[in-house]
């Protein structure tokens, strides 16, 4: 690289959501609270599913994987920002930025595929109820999750490796609170046509593909529910997929809203602020949506909490014994 025009890829600088010093404490407290709620809520979903044998079904197996992906997704995007605010530093190493980018893309795409897999599960349960246990057997369920993990991992690896070919100018300030790939590509001092093409192609294929599958599944579900004679039967059938439909709507509406808002304002800082909706808010709300509308999850969560209280009482009583 030519000195003066380019710089060694040592570190980037994350500008965060605001440069106002008086707002940093508020942002830190708010995002730390949301992060803890997200981790705790999704961990409770995983514990409830794993501890209750009644929940060892494909639907809850997919849900526990989604909860795990949401924990990792939020940790990838928020944790570094919290550390930077606490240490009053904006720096992130080049290697750290690439790693953050890899995991961010990986878990974002994984969320897309898991939501599509869950839609397919609801399609089979409602449209082919008599064959549900045969079609959605443990082997197929595990294979669907494994394929989702592999595709998302390979895609994020490809996109991260494509960043390594870029050289960067002396301005390495990223107007975001994490290393978002499009913002990083904009800092490059070389031709980014291949990177832009790859981002666009994978975005359409790996976000549009699962969305098309979800829409197809729910079109069949709506048609099947419409054919049910009794109102009670229709309500029961719809209630089995209401939580998932709400999560899908929240996830894709916030994602599309962020894209539209960034295109309309052409402001990187506005884009970063809008990104909070699908990187932080949506993963935080998912456990509440599934637990508040699902009697099985509520029952399992109560059992988990009760067992924790009982164990605590036993430990305290043993400590009091001479």
Q: In CATH, what number is assigned to the domain containing residue 129?
A: 1.20.1070.10
pLDDT at 313 over 80: no
Classify residue 314: in a domain, yes or no: yes
Classify residue 41: in a domain, yes or no: yes
Alpha carbons 152 and 155: distance in angstroms, whole number = 5
Classify residue 5: in a domain, yes or no: no
Q: How confident is the model at residue 197, as a pLDDT?
A: 94
Q: How confident is the model at residue 255 (pLDDT cuts 50, 70, 90)?
A: confident
Classify residue 6: in a domain, yes or no: no
When divided into structural domains, the chain yields a total of 1
Residues paired with residue 12 on neighbouring β-strands, in sequence order: 92
Of 18, 17, 13, the C-alpha closest to 168 is: 13
- Please compute the mean of the pLDDT values over residues 150-176 and round it to a whole number: 92
Residue range(s) defining the domain that contains residue 248:
11-320
Classify residue 2: in a domain, yes or no: no
Contact 162, 82 (CB under 8 A): no
Count CB neighbours of 293 within 10 A.
Answer: 14
Q: State the chain's mean pLDDT as an integer.
A: 86
What is the token pair recorded at 320?
Answer: 């009091």
Q: Which residue has the tokens 């639907």?
A: 59
Classify residue 143: in a domain, yes or no: yes
Classify residue 1: in a domain, yes or no: no
Summarize pLDDT for 36-55 with one digit per residue, the tens: 999 999 999 999 899 888 88
Summarize pLDDT for 72-116 with one digit per residue, the tens: 999 999 999 999 999 988 999 999 999 999 999 999 999 999 999
Summarize pLDDT for 9-21 with one digit per residue, the tens: 578 999 888 888 8
What is the token pair recorded at 48?
Answer: 């409830």
Of 145, 122, 147, 146, the C-alpha closest to 135 is: 122
Q: How confident is the model at residue 1 (pLDDT cuts 50, 70, 90)?
A: very low
Classify residue 220: in a domain, yes or no: yes
Q: Which residue has the tokens 């939501």?
A: 115
Q: How confident is the model at residue 20, as a pLDDT?
A: 84
Alpha carbons 118 and 251: distance in angstroms, whole number = 14
- Please compute the mean of the pLDDT values over residues 175-184 and round it to a whole number: 91
Q: What is the pTM of this model?
A: 0.89
pLDDT at 222 over 70: yes
Residues counted in the chain = 322
């Amino acid at each position: 690289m030519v000195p003066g025009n380019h710089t060694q890829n040592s570190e980037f600088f994350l500008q965060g959501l605001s440069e106002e010093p008086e707002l940093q404490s508020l942002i830190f407290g708010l995002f730390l609270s949301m992060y803890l709620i997200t981790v705790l809520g999704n961990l409770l979903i995983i514990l409830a599913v794993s501890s209750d044998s009644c929940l060892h079904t494909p639907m809850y197996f997919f849900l526990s994987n989604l909860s795990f992906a949401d924990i990792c997704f939020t940790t990838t995007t928020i944790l570094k920002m919290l550390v930077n605010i606490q240490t009053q530093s904006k720096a992130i190493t080049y290697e750290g930025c690439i790693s953050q980018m890899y995991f961010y893309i990986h878990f974002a795409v994984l969320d897309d595929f898991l939501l599509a897999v869950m839609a397919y599960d609801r399609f089979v349960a409602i449209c082919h109820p008599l064959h549900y246990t045969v079609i959605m057997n443990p082997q197929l369920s595990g294979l669907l999750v494994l394929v989702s993990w592999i595709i998302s991992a390979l895609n994020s690896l490809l996109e991260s490796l494509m960043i390594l070919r870029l050289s960067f100018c002396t301005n390495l300030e990223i107007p975001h609170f994490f290393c978002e790939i499009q913002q990083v590509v904009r800092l490059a001092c070389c031709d980014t046509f291949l990177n832009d093409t790859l981002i666009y192609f994978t975005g359409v294929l790996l976000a549009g593909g699962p969305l098309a599958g979800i829409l197809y599944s729910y079109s069949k579900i709506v048609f099947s529910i419409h054919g049910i004679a009794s109102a009670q039967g229709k309500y029961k059938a719809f209630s089995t997929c209401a939580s998932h439909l709400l999560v899908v709507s929240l996830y894709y509406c916030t994602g599309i809203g962020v894209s539209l808002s960034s295109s309309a304002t052409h402001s990187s800082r506005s884009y970063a602020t809008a990104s909070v909706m699908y990187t932080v808010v949506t993963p935080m709300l998912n456990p509440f949506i599934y637990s508040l509308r699902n009697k099985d999850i509520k029952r399992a969560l109560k059992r988990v909490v009760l067992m924790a209280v009982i164990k605590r009482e036993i430990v305290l009583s043993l400590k009091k014994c001479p």
